Each structure stands twice: as structure tokens, then as C-alpha cells.
């Protein structure tokens, strides 16, 4: 469940039982960025379509889950927070900034991990490094074992998996923006979010 209270743990993460898959995708990805490999053409396993209705539907799932766990939640404040996170806008904007697309899992994961890195280190990631990270993730997705795992997911499950990753980054970013600084607790949240995306230690990653 995603907590919209800044003092609580934000752990929507890579839920829905697919954490192992994301870790497989990210396995050795940063090591692969050291080479000068060209990006292979994206395959069907990498492609994903996310329309406005999908964002709204996933947001409603988050809303319902929060209310299920705390019936006294202020519905207006919760709706306002989810709207302010503007997941669709933020990822589309960041994709344009680095020349990536928000219609591929590899691009979305690279954008989210770079965003997490920027919040943790409080500096801008290199466009070249983010693209190299995307290429490495795409190489991993192209492996037959990863493609086989992705093929087992329904379209809805696949969307929920990647949307959970996107919302986690967006909502944590909004909490940090609202507080005006990155607290020690939020540093831990960023570390946890990165771990759920398959990055063992975002603190030791270099993207600048």
C-alpha cells in the first residue's frame, strides 16, 4: 500500500509478486553500461501501452487499498495527493528530456531508477548514462529467460507491475517536494524503492 503521509513508509514498490522479475531484469545492468554496446531493437516483451484510463484505474486501486486499511482516511486529501503526484506527466516529461519513450518497460525503468538516483544524491543524472542504463535493461529483457517470464503475465498484470514502479517514484518525489528536503527517513525509502526495482544499493550507483 502506498502511504501518502510523509512520515510513513512508502512501499507500493514492485508488488504484485513480480519483484523477482524486476531483479532479473536489472541483474548486471549497471555493469553492462560500461561497454559501448548499441541498443537492440525493442521487442514485444519490452513494449507496453499505458493510456490515461490505465493510470486512473491504477490510482483507484491505490485509493481503495488505502481506505481498506484506514477507513478514517480523508478522501479529499488522498485524492489531492494522488493527483498532485502526476505520474503520467512526470514520466512523459523525463522521457523527453533524455530522449527515451514511455512506451517501453526498459525506458520506464531507466527513467524511474535515474529519478530515484537524482532524489537520493540530489544531483542531475547524465543523459548518456541514463540511455546506457536503458540499453543494458533492454539487453536483459531480450534474454529468453526474461522474455519467458514477461510472456506469462497478462496485459493487466504487466501494466500493474510497471505502474506500481512508476507511482512509487512519483509519490515519493511529491512527498519530498512537499517537505522541501530529503530527510534520513526518505533516504531509506529511496534505498528501499531502488532495491524493489532490482538495484541493490542506489547510494553506490554512478549516473553523473
Digit-coded pLDDT (tens) for 141-157: 888 788 888 888 888 88
pLDDT tier at 139, thresholds 50, 70, 90:
confident
Q: Is residue 208 part of a domain?
A: no
Report yes or no on 3 lying in a domain.
Answer: no
pLDDT in tens, 1-33: 344 443 333 344 334 344 556 666 665 565 555
Residue 164 confidence (pLDDT) = 85
Residue 148 lies in a domain: yes
62 C-beta neighbours (distance < 10 Å), count: 21
Q: Please say whether the beta carbons of 168 and 2 come within 8 A.
A: yes
- Residue of 143, 119, 167, 128 lying closest to 46 (CA atoms): 143
DSSP assignment letter at 104: B
pLDDT of residue 79: 86
**pLDDT beyond 70 at 96:** yes
Residues of the domain holding 51: 19-203
Burial class (CB in 10 A: 0-12, 13-18, 19+), 85: buried
| Contact of 91 with 166, CB cutoff 8 Å | yes
Across 41-56, average pLDDT:
82
Contact indicator for 80, 73 with CB cutoff of 8 Å: no
Is 1 domain-assigned?
no
Classify residue 23: in a domain, yes or no: yes
Average predicted confidence (pLDDT) for the chain: 80
Residue 6 lies in a domain: no
CB-hemisphere CA count at 13 Å for 104? 22
Residue 197 Ramachandran class (φ > 0 left, ψ -120 to 50 alpha, else beta): alpha
Reply yes or no on whether the pLDDT at 105 is more than 80: yes
Query: Is this structure's pTM higher than 0.85?
Result: no
| Residue that the C-alpha cell 514477461 belongs to | 150
66-75, 102-111, 172-181 — which one is most confidently predicted on average? 102-111
Arithmetic mean of pLDDT, 42-56: 84
Percent residues over pLDDT 90 in the chain: 31
Distance CA 137, CA 13 (A): 18
pLDDT of residue 51: 93
Q: Residue 8 falls within a domain, yes or no?
A: no
Q: What is the pLDDT of residue 29?
A: 60
How many structural domains compose the chain? 1
Does 137 map to a domain? Answer: yes
DSSP reduced 3-state for 64: helix
**Hey, CA dihedral for 122, 127, 129, 131, is it positive or negative?**
positive
Q: What is the pLDDT of residue 178?
A: 84
Amino acid at each position: 500500500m502506498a502511504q501518502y503521509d510523509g512520515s510513513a513508509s512508502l512501499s507500493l514498490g514492485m508488488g504484485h509478486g513480480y519483484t523477482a522479475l524486476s531483479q532479473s531484469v536489472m541483474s548486471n545492468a549497471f555493469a553492462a553500461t560500461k561497454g559501448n554496446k548499441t541498443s537492440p531493437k525493442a521487442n514485444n516483451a519490452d513494449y507496453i501501452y499505458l493510456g490515461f484510463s490505465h493510470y486512473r484505474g491504477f490510482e483507484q486501486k491505490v485509493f481503495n487499498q488505502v481506505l481498506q486499511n484506514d477507513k478514517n482516511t480523508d478522501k479529499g486529501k488522498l485524492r489531492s495527493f494522488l493527483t498532485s503526484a502526476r505520474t503520467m506527466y512526470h514520466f512523459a516529461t523525463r522521457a523527453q528530456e533524455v530522449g527515451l519513450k514511455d512506451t517501453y518497460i526498459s525506458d520506464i525503468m531507466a527513467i524511474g531508477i535515474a529519478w530515484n538516483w537524482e532524489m537520493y544524491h540530489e544531483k542531475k543524472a547524465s543523459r548518456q548514462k541514463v540511455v546506457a542504463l536503458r540499453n543494458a535493461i533492454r539487453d536483459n529483457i531480450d534474454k529468453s529467460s526474461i522474455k519467458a517470464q514477461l510472456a506469462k503475465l497478462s496485459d493487466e498484470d504487466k501494466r500493474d507491475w510497471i505502474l506500481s514502479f512508476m507511482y512509487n517514484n512519483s509519490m515519493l518525489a511529491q512527498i519530498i517536494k512537499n517537505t522541501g528536503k530529503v530527510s534520513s527517513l526518505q533516504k531509506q525509502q529511496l534505498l528501499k524503492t531502488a532495491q524493489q526495482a532490482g538495484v541493490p544499493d542506489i547510494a553506490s550507483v554512478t549516473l553523473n
